[in-house]
């Protein structure tokens, strides 16, 4: 994962994350455990791949399905997309949250 981040293989990262999320841990047979940092890497890959603001918001909301709460870094990635798209009102609402 780290190598692909460094080499900016955004589409590969997105596919790996999406596959990993649906997989079971080989050692335990249980679903893989996610954390906020891993999910933020997924958000960054989506940002760098040109995701739209509403897509990024949906991804941040999807974190809750995994019992994760978006953190400041998560919202900063969403905000970057909003700034790029010049969605000032949406960005202001997120900052107010």
11 pLDDT exceeds 80?
yes
Mean pLDDT of 4-32: 82
Mean pLDDT of 54-83: 92
Strand partners, 18: none
Digit-coded pLDDT (tens) for 26-48:
788 877 777 899 899 999 999 99
The answer, as to whether pTM is greater than 0.75, is: yes
Whole-Å CA distances, 25 to 28, 30, 31, 34, 63: 6, 5, 6, 11, 19
Average pLDDT, the chain: 87
């Amino acid at each position: 994962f780290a190598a692909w981040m460094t080499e900016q293989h955004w589409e590969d990262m997105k596919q790996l994350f999406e596959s990993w999320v649906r997989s079971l841990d080989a050692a335990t047979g249980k679903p893989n455990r996610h954390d906020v940092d891993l999910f933020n890497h997924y958000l960054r890959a989506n940002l760098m791949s040109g995701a739209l603001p509403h897509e990024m918001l949906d991804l941040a909301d999807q974190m809750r399905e995994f019992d994760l709460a978006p953190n400041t870094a998560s919202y900063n990635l969403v905000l970057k997309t909003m700034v790029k798209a010049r969605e000032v009102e949406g960005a202001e609402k997120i900052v107010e949250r």
